[in-house]
Structures are given as structure tokens and as C-alpha cells.
A and B are shown apart, each in its own frame.
Chain A
Amino acid sequence: MKQVKDKLPILLFILLLAALWELSTIVFHIPAYIVPRLSDVFAAMGRHAGLLGKHFVLTLGEALLGLAISVLCGVMSAIWIESSSLARKTIYPLIVASQTIPIIALSPIMVMWFGYEIGSKVAVVILFTFFPVAVNTADGFRAADKEIGELLRSMGAGRAQLFLKWKLPSALPSFFTGLKMAAAISVGGATLGEWLGGESGLGVYTKRAANMLRGDDVFAGVLLLSFMGIALFIAAQIIERLVLGHRRA
């Protein structure tokens, strides 16, 4: 009950924005290829439900696969950085510095390397999502309470025990922060990957619709992409709550 009450303002706000959208397109006579009426967007969604569903699943698959690989590689890099001071001095700054490279400019290279199939899309998603996972997890390891570590050492804990019973649980909140960020931007990565060269997916769908000046179809695709991003974020948040729920927020 309380949860519903907490979410009520945002739900009402979204309804208000939707109403404003719908009304302003009518009142100001905005052409459909600029901003279509919201009801038309939903109508377009309904009309092409089957097709959109197929593209949706493809894009979601790319995002999830890329995300999974990023989590795997990101956590492993973080462990490497944490366990070797040489890696901390070389790999970590390199990862941080890599963020100054415009990922969008790098993305076409992924197409050159991995082709027009799913590989290049997943690669772009990884390009987007590896960083937040790796850096947040590494920072989480780093921020583990040193005194707790000392205490465990005074009880005879070895390297492996220190990692499993101290570092790993300490880094979890920070890891989940990274995961949530990565989940939210993974959809953007997949869409960009599809734009650069692909046959299917919601990115391709919206691009084609835009070329045909089909405003309602473009917005239908964009809305679905947003839903996907929000859903992935919420999924990450739910996992976070399940794992960390009992700790103090």
C-alpha cells in the first residue's frame, strides 16, 4: 500500500505529461511527422505489434548479452586491479582515461571488426557498459573498511578468506550502482549498434520509419526503447534489493 502511495506522484505526473502531449498536438496543429499525437503512437504500436515485438526481443537480447559480458569482464578486471598493485597503477588509469575517447566515434570500428551481425551490436553495448561496472566495482573493493580487514587478519584470515568474506561483500553496493548505470545505458548502446549497420532491431526500425517520415512509428519505437531501458534498470534494482535488502540503505 505504501509503495503504491510513494509511486502515485510520478504516475500522475506521467499521465499529466501524456495529456499535455496529446492536447498540444491538437491545439497547435503540429504536423504528425514532427510530433505525432500520442494516441496515434499507441495506435501505430498496436498496428505493428507483432513486428515491434520481434524487433524488441532482438534489441533486448543484444543489450542483455552485452550487459552480461560487461559484468563478467568488468568484475574480473576489478578483481585484477584489486589484487595487483601493478594493475592498479596501469590498467585502472587506462580504463578511466579510455572514457575520454568518444564511444560513438569508436562504434563504427566495431562494425568493421565484428560485421553486420549481432556481434557488432553486442560489442557497442560492451563499449558503453564495461566502464561503469569495472570502475564502480574496483572502487567498491578499494573502499572496503580497512579496520574490518585488519580484524579478520588478526583472526588468522588468509588471502582467499579476506577476499570472500570482506572485499567481496564490501564491494557489492558499489557494484550494483555500476550495474544500474550500465543497465540503463545498455539499450542506447544496442540502438547505436543497430543504426551503424543492421537488418533488425528497434534501432533499425526507428531509423527506417524516420526515413519514411512516419512520425508515429518512430515514436512507437522510441517509447518501446525507453520502456526497455527503464525495465532493465528496475530489474537491476530488484536484484540489488534482493541481495542487499537487509543492509542499511
Chain B
Amino acid sequence: MSGRTITPEPRQETGLPGLSVQGLTYGFESDKPLFEGLDLEVPKGQFVSIVAASGMGKTTLFRLLAGLLQPESGTVTVAGAAEGPGGRSIGYMPQRDCLMPWRTVQDNAAIGLELAGMARREARRKVLELLPELGLAGTASKYPHELSGGMRQRVSFLRSLLAGGELLLLDEPFSALDAMTRSSLQQWLLEVWEKHRKTILFITHDIDEALLLSDQVLVAASAPIRKLVPMMVDLPRPRTYETTLAENFVYLKRRILRQLGRIGSSGGGGDE
């Protein structure tokens, strides 16, 4: 990489966590909990990823955080989020883009503002302003079926960005995309996030993706999830694909793989 040495700066340290979870317990069957006494804290303005194997209840965790499910015990606190009748208003971005086929790009992105009571005209104007910087210029009056998968995810992200307060929950948003589109969207997300600096909790099963994007990676090693092992990603920003080749990157990846039990402990790297 370049000769510059950049130490990661602490981001918007306000002391208040963006998201705080305490003692969360939940399971679909009472004798088989998915989460048991889980504590989780995401500092405000940070990009945090959760890496876990499939079937560990990642999406369920997001639904709990979004208030779509009620925990058996424990509390979820989101800074600055209003509690609505159906859930708390956070920017939830589901795995599928879930765009409404009867709405244009502009109206799809504006739905959150509309639901919050903003006049339709005003909401549409706000969306229109943001389209260019999200790489969606010229798509305002297009319908979802006229867009590629990658573009649809951009619209979905914009919708979450406008709907949420300070916290965005992204649930494997790029997992259904082909590798090329995915890498360009990762780059895109980094750029957009650098600009808006929302608190992001990102779920993925792709370790490279998690390391490339995040300030911190939380590893869920065993079911039921009792704790998430935090790992600080002290790689300099802005990051590019170059980053994934850095020595540090590989070192961190190896540690995560070991925690997930994918490789043996003889693989080198730090102690855990």
C-alpha cells in the first residue's frame, strides 16, 4: 500500500451507544433458544458487522432489534429511535430488496418519510436530491423491474437511509448479487457511509466483506449465541480492494476463521 501511515481515528465519540442490547433471550421453541443473555453494544457512528454461520438466527436478531419481534427477556435500546405502533423506526434493509413494484424508484425510496408523516411532495423532493450521490441519477421515475439487482439494492439502501434515525440494520444486503456487482456495491456503500456516518450494524457470512467494511467485527461462534466476540478492525480508511491484500487483513481473517472453527489453531496469528 502507499507509504502513508494512518491510524484509525475514533469516530464521533459521543459516549452514547448507537445501539445497546442487554440480556437478550429469544427462541422459537422455549427449550431451544437462539440467543441467551446476549449483550451487544454498537458505538454511535461505527460500522459493525456480525459474522455467523447460516441458521444461527441472524435475521431473527435483526427482527428483534427492529422491534418486529418481542424478546422473551432483555432490552433493546436504540438511540434516537421513535417507538411506533408496529416497531421502532430504524432503517432496516432486508436481504431481498423488497421494493414495491407499483412504486417508482423515487416513491419507493420516499416511503419511510411518507410513513413518518412528511408530505409526499416534500418526501419526493428529498429523495430526488439524494439520488445522484447514491449513483441513482436518472432513475427517479423508473419502476423496480426496469433496474438491475445492484441498482435495486441501492434504492433499498436509500429507503433505509431515509427511514431510519441514526441506526441502519443491513441484513446480508449483497448476498444475492454476483461477485462483480457485489464488490462494486461494497465500494459504493463505503463511500456513502463515509459521507453520512450513520451507525451501521451489518450481517454477513462473508468474512472478507465484513473486514473490508467494518470498524468492528462481532463473531458468533456457537449456537445458542450467548456472546459475540468483538474484533477491532484497525485497518486504515478509506479502504479499497487493495486493503483485502494487506497483511493485517489476512491476519484478522485467520483469527475469525479460527473462532468459527473453520481452521485449526496451528494456522498462526494471535492468541484467542
The A201-246 residues at the B interface (CB cut-off 8 A) are: 244, 246
Chain A residues with CB under 8 Å of B94's CB are 147, 150-151
Q: How far is the CB of A6 from chain B (nearest CB, A)?
A: 22
- Bound CA–CA A248/B146 (angstroms): 9
- Bound CA–CA A109/B143 (angstroms): 50
Q: B87, A154: Cβ atoms under 8 Å?
A: yes
Chain A residues with CB under 8 Å of B268's CB are none
The B113-156 residues at the A interface (CB cut-off 8 A) are: 114-116, 143, 145
Does B15 have its Cβ within 8 Å of any Cβ on chain A? no
Q: Chain A 148-175 against B: per-residue CB contact (8 Å), 1 yes, 0 no?
A: 1011111111110110011001001000
Chain A residues with CB under 8 Å of B51's CB are none
Q: Chain A 108-149 against B: per-residue CB contact (8 Å), 1 yes, 0 no?
A: 000000000000000000000000000000000000010110
Does B218 have its Cβ within 8 Å of any Cβ on chain A? no
Chain A residues with CB under 8 Å of B92's CB are 151, 154-155
Chain A interface extent, by class = 20 to 34
Q: A157, B100: Cβ atoms under 8 Å?
A: no
Q: How far is the CB of B144 from chain A (nearest CB, A)?
A: 8
Chain B residues with CB under 8 Å of A158's CB are 84-86
- Bound CA–CA A158/B98 (angstroms): 18
Q: B87, A156: Cβ atoms under 8 Å?
A: yes
Chain A residues with CB under 8 Å of B143's CB are 246-248
Q: A172, B102: Cβ atoms under 8 Å?
A: yes
Question: Which of A154, A172, A244 contacts B86, CB < 8 Å?
Answer: A154
Question: Which of B66, B67, B115 contacts A157, CB < 8 Å?
Answer: B115
Contact A156:B115 (CB < 8 A) given known A150-B68, A246-B143: yes
Q: A153, B101: Cβ atoms under 8 Å?
A: no
- Bound CA–CA A142/B229 (angstroms): 42
Q: A154, B68: Cβ atoms under 8 Å?
A: yes
Q: B86, A153: Cβ atoms under 8 Å?
A: yes
Q: How many A-B residue pairs have CB under 8 A?
A: 72
- Bound CA–CA A39/B87 (angstroms): 70
Q: Chain B 55-77 against A: per-residue CB contact (8 Å), 1 yes, 0 no?
A: 00000000100111000000000
Nearest-CB residue, chain B, relative to A249: B145
Q: A154, B111: Cβ atoms under 8 Å?
A: no
Nearest-CB residue, chain A, relative to B86: A153
Nearest-CB residue, chain B, relative to A151: B98
Q: Chain B 68-111 against A: per-residue CB contact (8 Å), 1 yes, 0 no?
A: 10000000000000101111111010101010111000000001
Q: Chain B 28-53 against A: per-residue CB contact (8 Å), 1 yes, 0 no?
A: 00000000000000000000000000
Does B163 have its Cβ within 8 Å of any Cβ on chain A? yes
Q: How far is the CB of A166 from chain B (nearest CB, A)?
A: 8
Contact A169:B111 (CB < 8 A) given known A154-B68, A157-B86: no
Q: How far is the CB of A149 from chain B (nearest CB, A)?
A: 9
Does B112 have its Cβ within 8 Å of any Cβ on chain A? yes
Q: A247, B163: Cβ atoms under 8 Å?
A: no
Nearest-CB residue, chain B, relative to A153: B86
- Bound CA–CA A147/B171 (angstroms): 13
Q: How far is the CB of B159 from chain A (nearest CB, A)?
A: 8
Q: Chain A 72-86 against B: per-residue CB contact (8 Å), 1 yes, 0 no?
A: 000000000000000
Chain B residues with CB under 8 Å of A156's CB are 82, 84-89, 115-116
Chain A residues with CB under 8 Å of B87's CB are 153-154, 156
Q: A155, B163: Cβ atoms under 8 Å?
A: yes
Q: How far is the CB of B73 from chain A (nearest CB, A)?
A: 22
Contact A148:B86 (CB < 8 A) given known A246-B143, A247-B145: no
Given known contacts A172-B102, A248-B143, what 13 new A-B pairs fall within 8 Å (CB)?
A150-B63, A151-B98, A153-B86, A154-B66, A154-B67, A155-B84, A155-B163, A156-B84, A156-B87, A158-B86, A165-B111, A165-B114, A247-B143
- Interfacial residues, chain B to chain A (CB-CB below 8 A): 63, 66-68, 82, 84-90, 92, 94, 96, 98, 100-102, 111-112, 114-116, 143, 145, 163
5 residue pairs, one from A and one from B, having the closest CB atoms = A156-B84, A153-B86, A248-B145, A156-B89, A154-B92
**A-B contact list, 12 entries, CB within 8 Å:** A151-B94, A153-B68, A154-B67, A154-B89, A154-B90, A155-B92, A156-B87, A156-B88, A157-B84, A158-B86, A165-B115, A244-B102
